[in-house]
Homo-oligomer: A and B are copies of this chain.
Amino acid sequence: MAVAKFAEIKNFMLTQIEIGAWPEHSRVPSENELAEQFAVSRMTARRALQELTEQGILYRTQGVGSFVAALKSQSSLLEIRNIADEIHSRGHSYRAELLQLTELPCPATVAAALGLKHNERVFFSLIVHFEDRQPLQLEARYVNPRQIPDYMAQDFSAITPHLYLSQVAPLTEAEHTVEAILPDSFTCQHLQLKKPEPCLRLTRRTFSRDGAVSLAYLTSPGSRYRLGGHLNFAPAGATRSS
């Protein structure tokens, strides 16, 4: 079997959701309906529904039906994740727009964070990450030129800074702060916000073996983005499907 049948059903349903044919909280076909449409047994149709439910794409209620869950962008705080992967894994298209890539004299706060001298040259990139056609995150990043001398030569429409950096200088450590802020007009403009709305700002400082590599400010509208995390303290609890 080239591709499993239940996977085909899943793909079909994901497509319907992505193109908006099945909006949030709308009902999706029942197990029996899917079984008939795809000429499979109910158990196979069920498996597709089941797995989509486990992935958080659907929710189901016994006796009522299956429905499209509200999906809001979500990333894990616990792993340093590439925003491009994150968007792709939701089945959406990713695009980056490079606004600036320059060398700057280092502001004092950045100098302290990266272990540079005040006004020493530092690399700076400014990028907007798009999910489909909507800007999801504004990334302002300072990079330590002592550690990453070739940073300016990269094509950041093809590779995200984070991915490039982690290839060149393997991460050993990272530090985060999460804040809720009201964005300035410059940020609003690039996130295409007509009015300032609360935004999450993730400040991330990454370290390689030889010290601080980069300092990034990642700003996302609160209405489009949230951070998620998961901690396991033990083999997870038993029955949580019931």
Binding site for B on A (CB under 8 A): 3-4, 7, 10-11, 14, 17-18, 51, 54-57, 59, 71-72, 74-75, 77-78, 80, 112, 115, 170-182, 197-200, 207-212, 221-222, 226-242
- Chain B, Cβ-Cβ closest to A69: B235
Query: How far, in angstroms, from A179 to B224 measured CA to CA in the complex?
Result: 9
Query: How far, in angstroms, from A7 to B90 measured CA to CA in the complex?
Result: 30
Do A7 and B239 contact each other (CB < 8 Å), given the known contacts A173-B234, A181-B222, A182-B198? Answer: yes
Contact indicator B57/A174 (Cβ below 8 Å):
no
A115 to chain B, nearest CB (A): 7
* Residues of chain B within 8 A of A56, CB atoms compared: 232, 236
Besides A173-B231, A211-B237, 20 new A-B residue pairs in contact (Cβ under 8 A), listed by A number: A4-B239, A4-B242, A7-B239, A14-B235, A54-B54, A71-B235, A72-B232, A74-B231, A77-B78, A115-B242, A172-B237, A175-B228, A175-B231, A176-B228, A179-B200, A179-B227, A200-B200, A208-B237, A209-B237, A211-B240
- Chain B, Cβ-Cβ closest to A12: B238
* Residues of chain B within 8 A of A177, CB atoms compared: 74, 226-229
* Residues of chain B within 8 A of A241, CB atoms compared: 51
Chain B CB within 10 Å — which of A14, A57, A74, A170 has the most? Answer: A74
